[in-house]
């Protein structure tokens, strides 16, 4: 495949602000078409990229010159349109969460594998190399034996009409910001996590959860304390605590491409910082998806399904 030709279902902010520019800049990737229910909206979004505008998602899925589809729709629509794209023979990159139910996510994985198609959940932070450096430091015993993990992702309140406040579209803090700390816990602690306790809460006048926290643990007794919210001061960070020290990372989940990460390490020998090179995790995610398309793989399936199961248990 000389170039992965991608069609986009919808004109969501995440698509316009981050993913479309990254796709346009990526080697071996071509934006072929953008679909919306409103053709004028599709034309406006497609114009900077010189690609086709299409009215309706089904019409885009019928295009023979689209190899893969990016689904940036509201969370409650991910499973429906990811499934429709797979059945139409298209590879799929779906925004997180892959669905709002672990069973649906597992069904999408089975469908993709049965058709020999790539299916990838768009969790971008795992493609930033700073987290691999943190893993290496922990594996090297820099902070001793791992005891606990803490992660937080919170953002300020959105306008009342925002889709994140609409339950029928899969709104709420758990599906929007909670995915990040839960996936981070899986990333560092593995797939043996269980939910010890959890709480979701809603701000006055809002019908979805706007705040949440969860306590997880591993069979070895390592705990994970997670916080997420849609009505808070901005915070994007995690910390790993060991028997001899700790590693802290700020701006952990959505760093801009020019941000140079700083890892803060405390140990018996004192405090130090490691400053890493800047990295564009959005561009890296697009390239990872293109690689999965060429290999016809479902990457990181274990982590995606483990995260989906934990989200189910936190919600219930």
**Do 80 and 35 belong to one domain?**
yes
Number of domains in the chain: 2
What would the pLDDT profile of 146-186 be if each residue is shown by its tens digit? 999 999 999 999 988 899 999 999 999 999 999 999 999 99
Question: Domain end: 120, 141, 161, which one?
Answer: 120
**Do 221 and 261 belong to one domain?**
yes
Position 306 in a domain: no
**Do 14 and 38 belong to one domain?**
yes
**Do 39 and 110 belong to one domain?**
yes
pLDDT bin (cut points 50, 70, 90) of residue 197 is very high
Q: What is the 3-state secondary structure (H, E, C) of 93-119?
A: EEECCCCCCHHHHHHHHHHHHHHCCCE
Position 307 in a domain: no
Beta strand 194-201 pairing with 146-154: unpaired
Provide the residue range defining the domain that includes 52: 4-120
Q: Residue 115's pLDDT is what?
A: 98
**Do 166 and 30 belong to one domain?**
no
**Do 111 and 134 belong to one domain?**
no
**Do 25 and 54 belong to one domain?**
yes
**Do 134 and 268 belong to one domain?**
yes
What would the pLDDT profile of 94-124 be if each residue is shown by its tens digit? 999 999 999 999 999 999 999 999 999 999 9
**Do 100 and 197 belong to one domain?**
no
Position 290 in a domain: no
pLDDT bin (cut points 50, 70, 90) of residue 301 is very high
**Do 114 and 199 belong to one domain?**
no
Position 38 in a domain: yes
**Do 25 and 51 belong to one domain?**
yes
Question: Domain end: 75, 90, 120, which one?
Answer: 120
From the list 96, 127, 164, 235, the catalytic residue is 96
C-alpha to C-alpha distances, 153 to 4, 112, 156, 177, 306, nearest whole angstrom: 33, 31, 11, 6, 19
Question: Domain end: 89, 120, 151, which one?
Answer: 120
243 in Cβ contact with 144 (< 8 Å): yes
The rounded percent of the chain whose pLDDT value lies above 70 is 100
pLDDT bin (cut points 50, 70, 90) of residue 2 is confident
- pLDDT score of 61 more than 70: yes
pLDDT bin (cut points 50, 70, 90) of residue 269 is confident
Mean per-residue pLDDT over the chain, rounded: 97
Nearest CA among 26, 15, 8 for reference residue 285: 26
What would the pLDDT profile of 203-238 be if each residue is shown by its tens digit? 998 999 999 999 999 999 999 999 999 999 999 999
Three-state SS at 162: coil
Is 115 noted as a catalytic residue in this protein? no
CATH number at residue 95: 3.40.50.720
Position 308 in a domain: no
Tally helices (H) and strands (E) across the chain. 11, 14
128 in Cβ contact with 202 (< 8 Å): no
Find all residues with CB under 8 Å of 220, minimum gap 6, and list them. Answer: none
**Do 67 and 157 belong to one domain?**
no
Position 298 in a domain: no
Q: Residue 74's pLDDT is what?
A: 96
Q: Residue 1's pLDDT is what?
A: 60
- pLDDT score of 194 more than 70: yes
- Average pLDDT of the residues in 83-87: 98
- pLDDT score of 3 more than 90: yes
Position 239 in a domain: yes
pTM listed for this prediction: 0.96
> Which residues on neighbouring strands pair with residue 291, listed in sequence order?
none
What angle is formed at CA 95 by the lines to CA 93 and CA 100, rounded to 5 degrees?
115
Position 297 in a domain: no
CATH number at residue 263: 3.30.360.10
């Amino acid at each position: 495949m000389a170039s992965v030709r991608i069609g986009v279902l919808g004109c969501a902010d995440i698509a316009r602000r981050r993913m479309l520019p990254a796709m346009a800049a990526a080697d071996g990737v071509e934006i072929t078409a953008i679909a919306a229910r409103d053709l004028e909206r599709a034309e406006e979004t497609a114009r900077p990229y010189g690609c086709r505008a299409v009215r309706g998602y089904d019409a885009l899925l019928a295009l023979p010159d689209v190899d893969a589809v990016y689904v940036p729709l509201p969370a409650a629509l991910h499973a429906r349109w990811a499934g429709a794209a797979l059945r139409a023979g298209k590879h799929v990159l779906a925004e997180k969460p892959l669905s709002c139910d672990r069973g649906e996510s597992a069904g999408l994985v089975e469908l993709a594998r049965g058709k020999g198609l790539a299916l990838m959940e768009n969790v971008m932070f795992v493609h930033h190399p700073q987290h691999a450096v943190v893993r290496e430091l922990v594996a090297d015993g820099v902070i001793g034996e791992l005891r606990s993990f803490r992660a937080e992702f919170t953002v300020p309140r959105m306008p009342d009409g925002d889709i994140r406040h609409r339950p029928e579209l899969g709104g709420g803090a758990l599906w929007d910001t909670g995915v990040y700390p839960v996936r981070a816990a899986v990333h560092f602690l593995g797939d043996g996590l269980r939910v010890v306790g959890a709480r979701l809460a809603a701000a006055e006048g809002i019908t979805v959860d706007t705040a949440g926290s969860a306590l997880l643990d591993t069979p070895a007794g390592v705990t994970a304390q997670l916080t997420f919210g849609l009505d808070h001061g901005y915070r994007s960070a995690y910390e790993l605590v060991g028997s001899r020290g700790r590693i802290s990372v700020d701006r952990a989940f959505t760093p801009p491409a020019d941000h140079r990460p700083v890892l803060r390490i405390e140990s018996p020998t004192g405090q130090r910082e490691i400053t890493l090179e800047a990295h564009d995790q959005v561009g890296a995610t697009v390239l990872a998806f293109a690689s999965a398309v060429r290999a016809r793989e479902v990457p990181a399936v274990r982590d995606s399904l483990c995260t989906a199961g934990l989200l189910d248990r936190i919600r219930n």
